[in-house]
Structure 1
Amino acid sequence: MNITGILVPIVTPFDAQGNVDANKLTALVKAFIDKGVAGIVACGTTGEYYTFSPEERALVLTTIADAAKGSDNKNAITLIAGINSLSTDHSIVLAEQAKTLGYDGLMLSVTPYSLPEQDGIIAHFEKVADVSELPIIMYNFPARVGVSIEFDTIKHLAKHPNIIGVKESSGDFSHALRMLQANFNDFEVICGCDDQPVDFFFWGAKSWIAGAANVFPAEQVALFNATQQGDWQTAKKIMSEIYPVIHSMESGNYNQKAKVGCLKGTVDVGAVRVPLTPMSGSEKSEFLALLS
């Protein structure tokens, strides 16, 4: 499974009635592919997967897969399905669904709310990885789930043949650098912090799963390509240009801004769903001004 480059955890368009807009989702997948992204992550945080009914989840996964397979670049596009759940056993069910629908890999966080110890985290990932037919990218996002996957836990799980990487979203670059320096075999440390990609790429990361890619897909592809060519000045220039928007997103209302700013504010993908709420008019205007 190729995960080199920019992968977009795609937003989910909703229509005026709050329903999944499958036609707009199809167009969005094709637009991202045209911008040169390496993959699409379905049912990620920016996709608001936690609001889906089972029927909506199936619709979103199927729509994304059909759109990607129908593109001219289908052989280059990696499809990853988020399978986060409160229950490890339910994540296994979601993994089976993703395989049936033609996905290439999975992304899985620690179970939210339960706050497991590190041995419980190991048991969670190993239970899914032992039975899944698809490779797994772990997702370390302690701000969302309440606990972090510690270095020794990563070191242990990196040995599992079906666990191929970790999306590192803790914000602690020292933690990321320690993993990058460890040079685990057949295991990728993936940038999951939108304000740190140049740092990750400088130390050898090959992938960025970026919610901000909903806003800046072409720019982030160009930034990645520059780093792979050793053109750090260009990479820094691009990062400096998009940083004000990324800093704003990281400062609050991330999902709202990913939707309002979709393709630099040119595509209306609808509102966020409760429990998220729309930004105020002034905050929306201030954010859109950063895109101009």
Structure 2
Amino acid sequence: MNINGILVPIVTPFDNNGNVDAQKLTTLVEAFIDKGVAGIVACGTTGEYYTFSAAERELVLTTIAEAAKNKAAKNKGAENKGAENKGAENKGAENKVTLIAGINSLSTDHSIELAAQAKALGYDGLMLSAPPYSLPEQEGVIAHFEKVADASELPIIMYNFPARVGVAIEFDTVAHLAKHPNIVGVKESSGDFSHALRMLQANFDDFEVVCGCDDQPVDFFFWGAKSWIAGAANVFPAEQVALFNATQQGDWDKAKQIMSEIYPAIHSMESGNYNQKAKAGCLKGSMDIGSVRVPLTDMPEDEKAEFLALLSK
């Protein structure tokens, strides 16, 4: 499973009646692929997965998978045609983005069920947090991840976001779980870069420390991270792809310039109403994808206007 680059935890468009808008979701997937992202994460935090019925979850997962597959086929066809016109041999690039399904749940066994669904629908990997609300000790966190990893054939990226989940995945726990062949990385969203740096310095075998903090990507990439799963990629997909590419080419001045340009909006998102701003600012505010669902509420119009103004600077 390739996770190098920018992966978008995609927002979920809702229509005026609050229903999932599958047509706009398809358009979003295609737009993100055109912007050069390496992957799509379905049913993540910015996707508001916790509001879905079982039928809606299946609809979202299916729509994203089919949109990505169809887009890859179109791109492949265009490349083949271009190669034929030039009389050149096509090397067979797959034009395939990585598809990851979030499988967070209060119940470990339910996460296993969601993992099986993701595999059946053609996903490449899974993203999983520690179980929220139950506040397990680290032994319980290990048991949770190992039980899901033992039950599923798909690789798992752990998701460390204690501010939302209520429990952290500590360094020693990561070191233990990184040895599991089915656990391939951790999305580090604690905001504690010292914790991230310790993991990056550990150089775990066949294991990626993924940037999960929208305001820290240059730091992560400087120390060797190869991936950024960023809710703000809903707003800045092209810019974040360009930032990643600059770091991989060693052009740190360009990376810092891009980060400086998008930082005011990212700082605004991190300061409050994150999901609301990810949706209002989708594709730099060029696409109306509807409101957030309760228990979230729409932000005030003046705050929305102030945020959108940051996208045009």
1:208 positional shift: 0.1
Over alpha carbons, which structure has the higher Rg?
Answer: 2
1:184 to 204, 211, 236: 204
1:16 positional shift: 0.2
- Structure 2 distance, partners of 1:268, 1:281, is 15
- Structure 2 distance, partners of 1:285, 1:77, is 33
1:92 aligns with 2:115: no
- Structure 1 distance, partners of 2:237, 2:255, is 14
Q: Which amino acid aligns with 1:64?
A: I
Partner of 1:46: 46
- Structure 2 distance, partners of 1:26, 1:109, is 26
| TM-score, with length taken from structure 2 | 0.93
- Structure 2 distance, partners of 1:30, 1:2, is 19
Partner of 2:64: 64
Alignment of 1:249-260 (within 5 A): 249-260=269-280
1:239 to 237, 242, 259: 259
1:128 to 126, 145, 148: 148
Partner of 2:190: 170
- Structure 2 distance, partners of 1:114, 1:252, is 25
1:153 to 150, 169, 173: 173
Gaps of 5+ in 1: none
The Cα offsets for residues 7-34 of structure 1, whole Å up to 9 and x where unpaired, read as 0000000000000000000000000000
Question: Aligned to 2:190, what secondary structure does the other structure show?
Answer: coil
Partner of 1:78: 98
1:261 aligns with 2:281: yes
1:166 positional shift: 0.1
Gaps of 5+ in 2: 76-93
1:75 positional shift: 3.8
**Once the two structures are aligned, what percentage of the paired residues are identical?**
85
1:212 aligns with 2:236: no
1:149 positional shift: 0.4
The count of corresponding residues between Structure 1 and Structure 2 is 292
Partner of 1:13: 13
Q: Which amino acid aligns with 1:66?
A: E
- Structure 1 distance, partners of 2:155, 2:195, is 23
Q: Which amino acid aligns with 2:263?
A: Y
| TM-score, with length taken from structure 1 | 0.99
Q: Which amino acid aligns with 2:7?
A: L
1:202 to 210, 218, 222: 222
CA contact (8 A) 2:7 2:229 kept: yes
TM-align CA RMSD:
0.6
1:35 aligns with 2:35: yes
- Structure 2 distance, partners of 1:271, 1:13, is 8
CA contact (8 A) 2:13 2:289 kept: yes
The Cα offsets for residues 76-135 of structure 1, whole Å up to 9 and x where unpaired, read as 300000000000000000000000000000000000000000000000000000010100
Question: Aligned to 1:71, what secondary structure does the other structure show?
Answer: helix
- Structure 2 distance, partners of 1:76, 1:185, is 25
- Structure 1 distance, partners of 2:135, 2:70, is 41
The Cα offsets for residues 162-204 of structure 1, whole Å up to 9 and x where unpaired, read as 0000000000000000000000000000000000000000000
Q: Which amino acid aligns with 1:119?
A: E
- Structure 1 distance, partners of 2:272, 2:134, is 25
Q: Which amino acid aligns with 2:19?
A: N
The Cα offsets for residues 199-253 of structure 1, whole Å up to 9 and x where unpaired, read as 0000000000000000000000000000000000000000000000000000000
Q: Which amino acid aligns with 1:238?
A: I
